Chain A
Amino acid sequence: MNKSKEQLLNKRYKAEQRFRLYGLSAIFMALLFLTIFIFKIFSTGYSAFQKTWLIVPVTFDAELMMLEQNPSNEDLQDADYYDIALKSMADLDPNANEDQENELKRMVSYFFEKEIKNELINNPGLIGKTKEVYLTASDDLDQVFKGNYPRDLPEDQRRVSDYQLKIFDQLVAKGKVESKFNISFFTYADSREPELAGIASSFMGSIFSILVCLMIAFPVAVLAAIYLEEFAPKNRFTDFIEVNINNLAAVPSIVFGLLGLGVLLAIFHLPRSTPLVGGITLSLMTLPTIIIAARASLKAVPPSIREAALAMGASRMQTTMHHTVPLSMPGTLSGTIIGLAQALGETAPLILIGMVAFVNTIPGSPMDPAASLPVQIYIWAESAERGFVEKVSACIMVLLGFLIIMNLFAQIIRHKFEKKWS
């Protein structure tokens, strides 16, 4: 009898330990996912911040460039660089036949002509001389050099030929291949060629959308929150508004995309694919988030503040505008930043209003067509080229970086400026 009691107790203690272990392992699993996730993104993405350059000797032959003696700056702009560019690539292998010359040309990006041109314009004294110029390697060679491309595949399954690899290895052996920080990833717009694709256009698109979103959502949401928290009478209508706000906060984002498409584009005829429409759509989405945050922080202001102001003869409007609202601002602002961070990561509604269009110019205003960072991730992730995989991860790193900064900022505002009552 006594023994079985002990056994029972032991069993219960074991069950206790098991339960505890389940809980611990659940947390461990969640954190493990997070770690795998971040590790995977970083390990595929970090190489995109490096770019491979081929150092190729270029002879600036005035005759081939159709240049007269003592050319002006304009002549240099108009000169023909294609022939010298081709020739310098072909010269990498003096015994190349025509097909092989073609393959040699494809070892660099199609910007090679422009890169040679820039070299000469920056240094016009080069005419008639030979100089080594940095040319962007094609994305496939870029991947080979970074070790992301399996070289042992059969040739017909590879995008680089044996011949290209042979020449490339010769260049590597001569130290004529160099890896440098990839500035163009931050300054170029989108491109079909991975080696020339950058995030500048989508980055500006994101900034413009977020600004439009902020300018619409913040004032409307703060005013609405003030009304609902400080002035609204308790009746059916205000209850209805409340239910509405809570529901809107949980409506799937793609429905807001349908709203943007069906109302903003089809009825108001706002320009498609622009950050303006994207920003308005996102602002409708963030509105409930900001309203809820602003109401919570208005509620947190103790009634004694209001009573003191009213006792001094201030009207209700004065009490609210001079005391309650300023005191609630830190909470409201941090809620706003968190709402904007959500909007910054949103993709589906922007796809529906056409912000997936291929944009190879950098937008100068919210009225120009643009993509946004998350949409750029989607576009690149759907592309077949191997070179885009690391670009996607790098773009994700930039996006996550922004989200982290925004959230930290919200935390700082909350902890530094929020008054602790009691």
Chain B
Amino acid sequence: MNLILFTFIVLLGFTSYYFGRKKAYTIQSSNKRLTALPQFYGYYLAIWCAIPAFIIFSLWAIFEPTIVKLLVLSDYSNQGYLDDELNLIYEKTKSLSRGQFTGEITPFIEASAEKYLSLRSIAQSSKAVIVLSIIIASVAYAYKRISSNSRTREPVEKFLNAVLFTASLAAILTTVGIVFSLIFQTIDFFKVIPLFDFVFGTHWYPAKAFVRDSSEALDPSMYSDTFGAVPIFAGTFFIAFIAMCVAIPIGLMSGIYLAEYASSKVRQYAKPLIEILAGIPTVVYGFFAALTVGPFLKELGTSMGLEVSAESALAAGGVMGIMIIPFISSLSDDVITSVPQSLRDGSYAMGATKSETIKRVIFPAALPGIVGSILLGVSRAIGETMIVVMASGLAANLTLNPLESTSTITAQIVVILIGDQAFGDPKTQAAFALGMSLFLVTLCLNIVALRVVKKYREKYE
């Protein structure tokens, strides 16, 4: 139904474009000057068709469900139901009208389902009538207004500009959406669990909160010592640290080699090959870490007489490091290449070798950019999910032994939220609180890193 209406409106839009242009041609043929190209007259009419349609559609989408609900539930209004019960009745009505209802059908609900269906069809047909009549009226009005000296290009371009502007707001809306989706759950969480316990508690065991009866759910005493996030934060930074131990030396050295030593032919092949590492999906790395690296390290450790967990922090961190190599190598490559040639020439002229020039002149000059790229790498390591979920443990141990298993913020979010979630349960809210802390940490890292890189760029431009 909506689709038919929509196609009809689109057709109407095209027709009004055609009529607008035709009128412009008629004006032109009577030897009067036009103020804009004829197609602008067409666009003008088409916009007069599109805007009212859009407004009515969105108004309908907002108000129709509430009004229909009010009307359906008005039958129950004097029977003393609570709001929740009324909502339940309404949900039952809706699912019955779609033919998906599986419970016991009472005559009451059957009656309201019929009412619901008839209201919906009334709403649909009245929408069609209203939309079409308003569109035709507005297009007719605009059509009459068109004359030889009416301005059409300016309004059309203003409209386009407004559309472009709205699109650019999408980025802000996404950020607002992220903050919005995280903040309410987080606030609810900290109403039950004190912030202090979360930030300084050393015992993380959210499964404990799950097995309890929901009627006791708001007793804060039983959650003490359940949501202490220190082991999680420590595990996150520990694994990120291991990853950076792998990624920084290899990434930085290959970046330097590519920028300073490699012949253009080596560069041409090696650079894209290394960047393939960045294009491999993280779930693939996770599988590799869990299937190959973990067991390999365990066997290696056993042969050396060490106790190595199959899901060690070392396996997850090491593979994560491999994943981050290309980020650091290509960013530091860019940064080093943009150091001005005059610095190098000056150093060579003083008799320095190439490596001395790199170590004493280019590296200090490029340092801010390199630090920026490393910070971006750290932010990626902290936010990385699948490798940790698949290759590292899921129990939160507070340990600094890379051969044991630890857990991270991202892994805990997945563990808590996989499967069905009940909003309002402290366990679910804990995941959002973790998400909030992850968002804040990576946000700070990103802002600092982007600032540093930008400052550095300005220095040499």
Contacts and interface: CB of A to CB of B under 8 A. Distances in A.
Interface stretch (B73-81, B82-90, B247-255, B298-306): B247-255
B279 A341 contact: yes
A223 interface: yes
A248 interface: yes
Contact of B257 (A27, A31, A221, A288): A27
Nearest to B250: A26
Q: Which residue of A27, A221, A262, A374 has the most chain B CB atoms within 10 A of its CB atom?
A: A27
Of all A-B residue pairs in the complex, the 4 with the closest CB atoms, nearest first, are: A252-B383, A23-B257, A345-B281, A262-B181
B181 to A, nearest CB: 3
Given A252-B438, A352-B413, A392-B287, A23 B383 contact: no
Contacts of A241: 168-169, 171-172
A41 B390 CA distance: 16
Given A23-B257, A244-B172, A345-B282, A254 B383 contact: yes
B286 interface: yes
A365 B256 CA distance: 49
Nearest to B354: A16
B180 interface: yes
Given A223-B168, A253-B385, 18 more contacts: A20-B354, A23-B257, A26-B252, A34-B274, A34-B276, A226-B164, A228-B168, A232-B168, A241-B169, A257-B417, A259-B178, A261-B181, A262-B182, A316-B157, A344-B281, A345-B279, A378-B286, A381-B283
B307 interface: no
B282 to A, nearest CB: 7
A332 to B, nearest CB: 14
Interface of A: 12-13, 15-16, 18-20, 22-27, 29-31, 33-34, 37, 40-41, 44, 219-221, 223-224, 226-228, 231-232, 240-241, 243-248, 250-259, 261-263, 266, 284, 287-288, 291, 315-317, 321, 341, 344-348, 351-352, 356, 374-375, 377-378, 381-382, 389, 392-393, 396, 399-400, 403, 407
10 contacts: A22-B253, A27-B257, A30-B250, A31-B270, A240-B172, A248-B175, A291-B171, A381-B287, A381-B291, A400-B284
A286 to B, nearest CB: 11
B349 interface: no
B264 to A, nearest CB: 15
B385 to A, nearest CB: 4
A316 to B, nearest CB: 8
B126 interface: no
Contacts of A250: 376, 379-380, 442, 446, 449-450
Chain B, interface residues (CB within 8 Å), range: 35 or more
A318 to B, nearest CB: 8
Contacts of A377: 283-284, 287
B168 A389 contact: no
Contact of B439 (A30, A33, A255, A407): A255
Interface of B: 153, 157, 160-161, 163-165, 167-172, 174-175, 177-178, 180-182, 184-185, 249-254, 256-258, 260-261, 270, 273-274, 276-277, 279-284, 286-288, 290-292, 322, 325-326, 329, 353-356, 358-359, 376, 379-380, 382-386, 389-390, 410, 413-414, 417-419, 421, 423, 431-432, 435, 438-439, 442-443, 446-447, 449-450
> Dominant SS at the A interface?
helix
Contacts of A256: 178
Contacts of A18: 355
A20 B261 contact: yes
A346 B358 CA distance: 38
A400 B292 CA distance: 18
A378 B288 CA distance: 11
A381 B290 contact: yes
Contact of B274 (A13, A27, A251, A315): A27
A315 B386 contact: no
A34 B279 CA distance: 11
Contacts of A403: 279-281
B221 to A, nearest CB: 28
Contacts of B356: 12, 15-16
A321 B163 CA distance: 14
A262 B185 contact: yes
B446 A26 contact: no
B248 to A, nearest CB: 10
Contacts of B160: 317, 321
Contacts of B355: 15-16, 18-20
A51 B356 CA distance: 59
Given A19-B355, A254-B438, A352 B185 contact: no
B385 A259 contact: no
B383 A400 contact: no
A393 B355 CA distance: 43
B281 A40 contact: no
